[in-house]
Structure 1
Amino acid sequence: MLTQKLAALEHEYEQVEAHLADPNIISDQGQYRRVARRHRELTPIVNLWREYCTLDTQARDARELLSDPEMRDLARADLDASEARMRAIDTELEVLLLPTDPHDPHDCIVEIRAGAGGDEAALFAADLLSMYERYAEGAGLKLAVLDANESDLGGLSKVTFEVTGDGAFRAFRFERGVHRVQRVPATETQGRIHTSTVTVAVLPQVEDAEVDLDLSEVRIDVFRSQGAGGQGVNTTDSAVRAVYRPGTPDEIVVVCQDGRSQIKNREKALVVLRARLAERERAVREAQERADRAAQVGSGDRSEKIRTYNYPQNRVTDHRLSGDVKNFPLETVVAGGLAPLIAALVNVEREALLQELTHAGA
């Protein structure tokens, strides 16, 4: 039991509660969101710690009564119950105090790109978008498409969307990587099974201060939105293209044409650009640390095959899991039922982190 650390977190919690009532913080929405997020993170830890302290006091009182013949049996029962719950709290706190991704509570940007497989890959990219829309809805999150490039058969060669809500990045971060589909494509006339791939990138949204973005290095272009079907397509030059360091090896191009307001599209484009810059920095750091992180669940590398959707066998296999737990019913998953799969990945990650901490403390 890390008594000093938990006592320090309780002190921080009390300070955070005071900040939540501070008019100056309430008037600053950005600062208020950060404080409220920290309050949500600390609440379960502090509640368990306070319960532990209460039980510890009860256990001491019960020990003192063990010498009283008339109270011995009752005191023993109380002591056993208190100690059992304290052991359970020890385990719960051990998990809650594990290192987490600092961006877990943040909103995120998700990019889906069709890979190998041509039109079939684009169709599967559209299927993944539909799956994520249902998953986000079930998780109480909001998903908004920012940009999409449709293929001739109604698939998506590329789509970028934003997911907002508490824990959006935490809910999607395990989706980073290559998703493989095995099925008979709609264009296949002889019933042969094809294998296609789609790449998914998940970028946490970052605060402006977290990324050093010099707007003088960004070229902003405006143009008329384009899309299939004609419905809902803007008829004004409200779409925005943000180009970071155009013409250099560092160039990044972001397009946002979802909103009908040029100003809002510009804001969203810069949000995506900051997220991509942060992702680029993260990739560099992870490349340097890859050997040290080999025991963790996945690296998030975009070349990593993380999951296979096998339609003939009605099965989804996540390759970061093992044994029977790695397979899930395909119909449930593609309908948005990702929660059990994500929970299994979280458990594996926690077990790996616990092993690392155990070995480090040995």
Structure 2
Amino acid sequence: MKQVGELESLYTAWKDWQNTRELLKETDVLLQDPDPTMRSLAADEHGELLDKLSSLAEKTFPSLLVPPSKTAHLSSMVELKAGVGGSEAALFLGEVMRMYTNLSQTMGWQAAIVAKNLTEHGGVKDAIVEIKGDKVYDMLRWESGVHRVQRVPLTESGGRVHTSTVAVLVMPLSEETHVDEELFKMEDVKVEVMRSKGAGGQHVNKTESAVRLTHIPTGITVAMQDERSQHTNRRRAFQVLQARLMDRKLNEDMIQRRDVRRNLVSSADRSEKIRTYNFPQDRVTDHRIGLSLNNVASVMEGPGLQDFLDALAKKHQDELLEDAFTTS
């Protein structure tokens, strides 16, 4: 059934091509009709049919050469960390987090904040957001990188524009709850339990509910203490670990193909500045595709962000299509 579903778009396009060709043949006859009104109508339709055939030949059929995405079924785990800029970076992180939850509402996805570390001034030092839905990872994966904000902080009395950053890491999230043996083995994970730190009253000091995992082969560590239940923290920690390892594997696969598409690897660089949110000029610029939108509010509320994601998806599609022709 999966294979039939993947071939359905090709079948539909081919039937569309055949039907359009038949209509074009019928229209060719009407171009010789003695009635000038009929000839004029036929000429208009003839032009539209030719345009449709050209579109099918130049765009639709070539795009079907691109193999279906192997990650289309995956949701996402989005990890955010405040970078340079102190309290202003933490405040912006909270806004970026809301930007993704706003987008999720627009797209009909389910977003849940599973971990959040607040600062004294109401900002967010770091956070993890789960976003579940159809093709979430494929759409959000290009958000990984450094997001830069330029604006006048509320605490700035001199009106000077400050620059702050937030690092975003979008990881694949599988709906499966069992341990993926291809990613890691349980004997390779060191599990530690400890008392939670921070706000929480007497409970923090009396129960060992915090969990820290260390994946020994890679050195990746995950600590989770947001919930009072050790079981819940443990489950979420393993979920984060699995997401990080899956993200690592997908990027290793991408790097192995860098000779074919070097700039695709570059776009996944976690340290690269990918987008600038300039509030004084009301402009958001994505540096990978050179696209700017003069409406910061629209981007932060979700619809504007979707324009960037669509443009990045098209860029990726064009690169895959070019690869298909190169290797064919």
Q: Give the TM-score normalised by structure 2.
A: 0.79
Deviates more, 1:84-93 or 1:325-334: 84-93
- In structure 2, C-alpha distance between the alignment counterparts of 1:161 and 1:331, rounded to whole Å: 21
Equivalent residues in 2 for 1:212-361 (5 A)? 212-222=183-193, 238-245=209-216, 250-257=218-225, 262-296=230-264, 298-322=266-290, 325-337=291-303, 338-358=305-325
After superposition, what is the alpha-carbon deviation per residue over 1:55-97, rounded to whole angstroms, capped at 9, x for unaligned?
A: 56x469969x99xx99xx9999999876654443342242244
Quote the offset at 1:279 in angstroms.
Answer: 2.2
Residue 138 (structure 2) aligned to one of 167, 170, 179? 170
Alignment partner, residue 140 of structure 1: 108
The one-letter code sitting in structure 2 at the alignment partner of 1:329 is N
How far did 1:101 drift? 4.5
Matched residues, number? 315
The 1:298–1:251 alpha-carbon spacing in structure 2 relative to 1, beyond 3 Å, is closer
CA change 1:143–1:83 in 2 (3 A) is same
Structure 2, unmatched stretches of 5+, are none
CA distance in 2, matches of 1:42, 1:154: 51
| Whole-angstrom distance in 1 between the partners of 2:170 and 2:326 | 31
Q: Distance in 2 between matches of 1:342 and 1:212?
A: 28
Deviation at 1:328, TM superposition (A): 3.9
Is the 2:65–2:324 contact (alpha carbons within 8 Å) kept by the matching residues of 1?
A: no
Q: Residue by residue, what CA displacement relative to the aligned partner does 1:170-212 show, whole Å, maximum 9, x if unpaired?
A: 2211201111111112332322111111111111124654733
CA distance in 2, matches of 1:144, 1:202: 14
Q: Is the 2:254–2:265 contact (alpha carbons within 8 Å) kept by the matching residues of 1?
A: no
CA distance in 2, matches of 1:259, 1:162: 15
Cα separation, 1, equivalents of 2:68 and 2:198? 40
Q: Deviation at 1:136?
A: 1.0
Deviation, 1:240, is 3.5
| Compared CA separation, residues 315 and 77, structure 1 to 2 (3 A) | closer
> Residues 192 and 229 from structure 1, CA distance in 2 versus in 1: closer, same or farther, beyond 3 angstroms?
farther
**Does the aligned pair in 2 maintain the 1:55–1:82 contact within 8 Å?**
yes
Query: Which of 89, 92, 96 lines up with 2:60 in the alignment?
Result: 92
Give 1:192's aligned residue: 160
RMSD: 3.7
Note closer, same or farther for the CA distance 1:136–1:187 as it changes in structure 2 (3 Å cut): same
Whether 1:104 and 2:75 are equivalent positions in the alignment is no
CA distance in 2, matches of 1:84, 1:147: 52
Deviations 1:9-35 (A, max 9, x none): x9930xxxxxxxxxxxxxxxxxxxxxx
| Sequence identity (%) | 37
Cα shift readout 1:254-294 (whole Å, capped 9, x = no counterpart) = 23455565444433322221121122233444445445323
Distance 1:60 1:186, change over 3 A: closer
Secondary structure of residue in 1 paired with 2:262: coil
Please state whether the residue corresponding to 1:180 is helix, strand or coil. Answer: strand
CA 1:257/1:45 → structure 2, altered by over 3 Å: closer, same or farther? farther
Higher relative contact order (CA 8 A, sep 6+): 2
**What is the CA–CA distance in structure 2 between the aligned matches of 1:358 and 1:289, rounded to whole Å?**
15
Q: In the alignment, is the contact (CA less than 8 A) between 2:93 and 2:124 conserved in 1? A: yes
TM-score, normalised on structure 1? 0.72
Q: Is 1:47 aligned with 2:38?
A: no
Distance 1:297 1:286, change over 3 A: closer
Decide whether aligned partners of structure 1 residues 144 and 238 sit closer, same or farther in structure 2, where only a CA change above 3 A counts: farther
Q: Secondary structure at the match of 2:105?
A: helix
CA contact (8 A) 1:211 1:278 kept: no
- Per mean C-alpha deviation after superposition, the further-off stretch among 303-312 and 202-211 is 202-211
